Every structure is written in structure tokens, then in C-alpha cells.
Chain A
């Protein structure tokens, strides 16, 4: 069932990207869909833990919230860069986390990196190494708002 869904999605993706309905292009689309499906099947077999992420309202809500954070961080960093005194104090430190599953970890680390001013350099079992341009940026992460929202998603 899942494989059929992926295959259908890949076909739709091909048609949307090409926009042509000639026999040749549709045949090429089917061939590449089959090829990618086969690759995915092989990768799942080697990996042993196929991972699936289904879109949900919570995830969309989280992404919207993250986008708002990114906008705020962008404005803040732009302000710092244009100030003649250049008020940045780079800091590289350990950030303790409680996120468990690989999905949560990936999402959390990527969210941190996506926000300008903070950057994940290493991911360990119970902590990340985070580089931040200012103490405030790191403090905000330590407060754990982002982590709470990710854990509430329960993925």
C-alpha cells in the first residue's frame, strides 16, 4: 500500500515537472518511477528501518511557527551585521536535549541550523554541539520552546 502511494506520488511529480503528455515522455516517466521505486525498496532492505513521515496538521503548524522564528532571527542578525559596533559574541557550547527518535533529532538539529544565528555542528545521543552568534540565541534554545514543540508532534 505504502509502495503504491509512493509510486503514484512519483508519477504525479513527473507529470507536474514535465507538463507534456506525449507517449515518449510518459513512458520515460513510468520507467524512472519504476527505477526510483526499486532503489527505495533496496535502500529499505539494506537500512532495515524504513522511515515514513506523514504530513499532519501538527507538522504544518510547527513549520509555520519555525518560519516565523526564521524571519525573527533574520531581522535580528541583519540588525547586528549593519550595526557599526558589530555586536556578535560567537559561542560554541553543549546543548542538552531530551529528543529521542531519529526523526525528532533530525528535525530539531535541522531547525536549529535553519534559523540564522544558531548552527548545529554535532549530534550526540543526549546533546548537540551548537554554535551561536550571540549568547541570547543560545539562551533561547536552552529555554526549550522548539524542543517542546517537536516532542509534542510525537514523531
Chain B
């Protein structure tokens, strides 16, 4: 395998891993449920495909390669549905998105917990 493929694959792994961590950090930092759903989108829309592309670059030409492509397509196709279902369920359950600056949101969050 040429070194450039190795470098490209390593870059994909690093970028994908970094985005996954970012999604996790966003999950902790963002103010309310609806904002956190966006953070989960971060790990699914770009991080997963990047990790899978990194994996593909390491693989030989085979049927397995095609299966990894299918996994990527599946993740990309199901992600909006899952995200929408979560948001819709939250709305249906009576939760309303907090709007405005982060300060107002943080206040709202603590008051709803109390």
C-alpha cells in the first residue's frame, strides 16, 4: 500500500474520531434536549462516514468493501429519520425547545429540574 493511502486513511480516522469527541462534548455543553440532538447529528453525518472511508482505504478490493459502503449509506439514510423521531417524540411529550441565548437556556434547564 502506498504511503499516501496510509496518510489519507489516518487523516480520515483522526478527523472522524475528533468529530465523535466533539459530538460528545456538545452533548454535555449544549443547553437543552433539542440542541443536544444536533450534537448527536455531528457524530452520525460526517464522523461515521469518515471512519468508514478510513477503513475502506485500508481494505483490499473485495465484497467486504461494498458492504462497508452499504453501512455508510444506511447510517446516512436512517440518521434524519431517527433524529426527527426523537424530536417529534419530545414535542409530543410536552417538551418545548428553549430559545434564545445560552444563559437563558441554562436557567430554564435548572428550573425544570427543580
Specify which chain B residues have a CB less than 8 angstroms from the CB of A70 in the assembled complex: 45-46
With A88-B102, A121-B91: A113-B84 Cβ-Cβ less than 8 Å: yes
Specify which chain B residues have a CB less than 8 angstroms from the CB of A92 in the assembled complex: 34, 96-97, 99
CB distance from B85 to the nearest CB of A (A): 10
Tier of interface size on chain A: 20 to 34
Find residues 81-98 in chain A having any chain B CB closer than 8 Å to their own CB: 81-82, 86, 88-92
Quick check: A121 and B88 within 8 Å, CB to CB?
Answer: yes
With A90-B32, A90-B100: A16-B38 Cβ-Cβ less than 8 Å: no
Is B76 part of the contact surface with A, judged by Cβ < 8 Å? yes
Quick check: A116 and B42 within 8 Å, CB to CB?
Answer: yes
Is A28 part of the contact surface with B, judged by Cβ < 8 Å? no
Partner of A77, one of B42, B63, B81: B42
Known: A88-B35, A90-B97. 18 other contacts (CB 8 A): A16-B63, A17-B70, A77-B39, A81-B30, A81-B42, A82-B25, A86-B29, A89-B101, A90-B34, A90-B100, A115-B45, A119-B84, A119-B87, A121-B84, A131-B34, A131-B87, A133-B30, A133-B38
Using a CB–CB distance below 8 Å, which chain A residues touch chain B?
Answer: 16-17, 19, 70-71, 74, 77-78, 81-82, 86, 88-92, 109-111, 113-117, 119-122, 131, 133
Using a CB–CB distance below 8 Å, which chain B residues touch chain A?
Answer: 18-19, 22, 25-26, 29-32, 34-35, 37-39, 41-42, 45-46, 63, 66-67, 70, 76, 79-81, 83-84, 87-88, 91, 96-102, 105
